[in-house]
Structures are given as C-alpha cells and as structure tokens.
Amino acid sequence: MSRKPIDKQQPSQCRQAIWDEVRNKEDWTFTAKELDVMLDASTIREYLAALAKAGYLQVISEGKRGESNVYRLINDVGHEAPRIRKDGTPVTQGNGRLQMWNAMRIIKQFTPVDLAFNATTDEVEIAESEARNYCQALHRAGYLSVKTPAKTGLKGKPGSGQATRYMLIPTMWTGPQPPQIQRTKQIYDPNLKKVVWSKVEGGAE
C-alpha cells in the first residue's frame, strides 16, 4: 500500500490510525510492518516504541539485523489513542478542550463558568477565560447555539448581569475528539478530518 506523506496527516490522526491497527491485530501481537496504515515507517516505529515505554505494549521479541520488534498489546484503554511523548510520558496539552467537549454533551446548557467548573479535574484546571474562548469559537463554527444572550448588569448592582448561555447542538456532536482551534485561525474537526471553519472565509466550508 502506498503511504500518505506524513506532512499531510494531523498528529492525532497518525496516533489514532496506528492505535486502531494495534487493537485490531489477532491476539494483539504484531510487528510494525504488519500495521496497515498510510504513514511513514519511522513514524509507526516511533509511536510503538513510545507505547512500549508507557506500558501499553510489551516487546516480546527484539528485532535483530534490520528485523522489526514483535509487540503485544497489554493495556487496552479503549478506542482513543494514548497521547504520549516519545519517552512515554503523557501529553496533557489539549486535555482541557477534551474535558470541555465531553462536559458540553453531558450538561446540555451552560455558561462559560458552568463549563469551566464541570470540566475541571484534579489533573487539569479550566480557567473561565479558556472556557469562554472555546465556547465562542465553537459557536462561530456552528457547534453551539446561544440559548440566552449575555446581559450587562446594572451599575452598582453586582450579579445583576448574566453570561451567555450556550447549548451543544445535538447533531453537531461529531465524535469523541474535540474540535481544535488552530494557529492559522481555523477550526479543525479530527472526527470529520476536515477544517470546518476558517476566519479567512468567515464561515463553515
């Protein structure tokens, strides 16, 4: 099979494609060459090595003289590919958006304050400003509807105003991975594997 150039793949797509193949292998035993994914061979080997260091895989036979290691999956944590660095340590960047994305589906309607509170865990704390920015981005991209617009409070009466209350549009739950706000001022949905909103174009594609 011809391999799609690595620069055409999102990092999360690379991990997920490899992880899906690992979980599909009979007896969960395989070599890197047996994984049928359209990625550069070095990328596959690198992620497998990281999974082994993190305790997801076991090396049951080390390859010699150019041969591939034989791995076995020993810690199946479900569909979503583990987000780890080369040394096997977990990647926490982006976990906040994953937690917010999951919380949106559960709590139905929310203000940024509600979302930050419900998405915060012992490991990752979500700031109100972070929740507000993510809500605004997903609203622009068509994922969220505004149930109650923001209301400016009366002067001298603290608490008389109200924050925008959002709701995740049910049909816009595209999958388990959170939409990503990219540096290029666009929103990429890893579940759909496409850019769904671009500031340059001013709307969804």
Look at residue 154 in the predicted model and tell me its pLDDT.
55
> Do 59 and 11 fall into the same domain?
yes
Q: Is residue 199 part of a domain?
A: no
Q: Is residue 170 part of a domain?
A: yes
Q: What is the extent of the structural domain holding 19? A: 6-73
Phi-psi domain of 119 (left: phi exceeds 0; alpha: psi -120 through 50; beta: other)? alpha
Look at residue 123 in the predicted model and tell me its pLDDT.
80
> Do 99 and 167 fall into the same domain?
yes
pLDDT confidence tier of residue 155, bands split at 50, 70 and 90: low
- Over residues 158-204, the pLDDT tens digits come to 555 689 999 999 999 999 989 998 877 899 998 998 999 997 755 54
> Do 99 and 29 fall into the same domain?
no
Which residue type does 137 have? A
> Do 67 and 141 fall into the same domain?
no
Q: What is the mean pLDDT of residues 25-51?
A: 91
> Do 99 and 66 fall into the same domain?
no
Q: From CA 173, how far away is CA 85, in angstroms rounded?
A: 28
Q: What is the mean pLDDT of residues 21-30?
A: 91
> Do 62 and 119 fall into the same domain?
no
Looking at the predicted structure, is the pLDDT value of residue 4 above 80? Answer: no
Look at residue 115 in the predicted model and tell me its pLDDT.
96
Strand pairing of 144-148 and 165-168? Answer: antiparallel
> Do 172 and 100 fall into the same domain?
yes
Q: Is residue 44 part of a domain?
A: yes
Q: Is residue 34 part of a domain?
A: yes
How many structural domains is the chain composed of?
A: 2
CATH number at residue 22: 1.10.10.10
Please work out, in degrees rounded to the nearest 5, the angle formed at the alpha carbon of residue 41 by the alpha carbons of 38 and 47. Answer: 95
Centre a 10 Å sphere on the Cβ of residue 67 and count the other Cβ atoms it contains: 11
| Contact assessment for residue 149 and residue 162, using Cβ atoms and an 8 Å cutoff | no
Q: What is the mean pLDDT of the chain?
A: 86
Q: Is residue 79 part of a domain?
A: no
- Over residues 73-94, the pLDDT tens digits come to 999 998 888 989 899 988 877 7
Q: Is residue 87 part of a domain?
A: no
